[in-house]
Amino acid sequence: MKDNIKITTTQSSRLSSVDFNNLSFGNIFSDHMLICNFKNSSWEIPQIVPYQPITLDPSSKIFHYGQSIFEGLKAYKDVDDNIFLFRPKDNAQRLNISAKRLAIPEIPEEFFLEGLKKLLAVDKDWIPNSPGSSLYIRPFIFASGQGFHASPADEYKFIIATSPSGSYFSGKVKVLIEETFSRSANGGVGFAKAGGNYAGQFFPTQLALKKGYDQVIWTDDTSHEYIEEAGAMNIFVRIKDTLITVPTNDRILDGITRKSILKIAEEEGISVEIRKISVSELVASSKAGTLREMFGAGTAAVVSPISTFGFRGIDYHIPEFDNTYADLLKNRITAIQTNKVEDNYGWRVKI
């Protein structure tokens, strides 16, 4: 398949206009993209073309019914300019888990994996190698098929666009525990990376931003007593010396960073628990001085320490200290991703 991918390269590269020493997150797009159409009941062979706008009919179902899913992964360069992906097969598989739930035709895994490798070979000079930077990769599928009938489209587009990026958050994160709005519900699409999951978060998150927080911590939709996720991150809590994260379910995205961190923590000899965490436990342990750390974990955010959580008008601060689990785990996972240490898990994929 990969030899059939047609490549059309750009006549006017934008590479020289990019300041690779001052990258923000997801605002600059590399010269090329991969595009693949689903038509007549099958996926056509992907093509690599110059990054460009796409034209869609106003009746395309993406606009009306939000049939759209995405993934997020990163490409890294080591000091010798070798290129690596981190667990890309997991992203390809998760895209198809999302596809199934949104009644979108599943994409052959090799279109994703081989197509991505080819795209990276074409745009290899867009992969940053400065510390904390990487090429953020955004594969996505949406309904391009037409009609106002509320039913799945008969045509789709799979695109991979990439963006040289720096960190997602500029510093420690201040979060607000949300008790009114829900990100997802039992039987819903919370476990899928569906575009609508994020649209639904924007308004409650805007309210939190107005109050001076950076992010919302979602609680379960029925009782609002248990924490679930923090925006686009899975959540970790350290009480005394135990690292705790909540079990995934159909409301929570099964994060690749989360499961990698759990594995690394276990091998580092950290005591780990996967169990529900109630807001009252957080408040009680904060008051008792046993809540030592909170952090979010995700591809874009890597490991982002939380400085404060707000709940019912009170801010609970997490004291700072050296040698945190967040630092240890961030350093370990980043070292594996950027080929600084041995990868004993088979996570790193050389391009």
Footprint on this chain of ligand PLP (rule: CB under 6 A): 72, 229, 232-234, 253, 255-258, 298-299
Q: Please tell me whether residue 72 binds ligand COI under the rule CB under 6 A.
A: yes
Of the pair 48, 237, the CB lying nearest ligand PLP is at 237
CB of 200 to ligand PLP, least distance (A): 11
In the window 200-259, what residues touch ligand COI (CB under 6 A)? 232
Report the residue from 190, 298, 305, 310 that binds ligand COI according to the rule CB under 6 A: 298
> Is position 296 an interface residue for ligand COI (rule: CB under 6 A)?
no
Cβ closest to ligand PLP, residue 145 vs residue 255: 255
Residue 100 Cβ, how far from ligand COI at the closest point, in Å?
19
Decide which of ligand PLP, ligand COI, none touches 20; Cβ closer than 5 to 8 Å per partner kind: none
Measured from the CB atom, the residue of 87 and 292 that comes closer to ligand PLP is 87
User: Least distance (Å) from ligand COI to the CB of residue 245?
Assistant: 16
300 binds ligand COI (CB under 6 A): yes
Least spacing, CB of residue 108 vs ligand COI, in Å: 22
- Which region among 6-14, 143-151, 297-305, 311-319 touches ligand COI (by CB under 6 A)? 297-305
Q: Which is nearer to ligand COI, 83 or 95 (CB)?
A: 95
For ligand COI, give the closer residue by CB, 145 or 305.
305
- Length of the chain equals 351
Residue number with CB closer to ligand COI (32 or 193): 193
Give the total of residues touching ligand COI (CB under 6 A). 6
229 binds, among ligand PLP, ligand COI, none (CB under 5 to 8 A by kind): ligand PLP
The residue range among 7-15, 169-177, 210-218, 295-303 that interacts with ligand COI, by the rule CB under 6 A, is: 295-303
Q: Left (φ > 0), alpha (ψ -120 to 50) or beta: where does 103 sit?
A: left
Residues 6+ apart with CB under 8 A from 132: 166, 167
Q: Which residues bind ligand COI (CB under 6 A)?
A: 72, 198, 232, 298-300
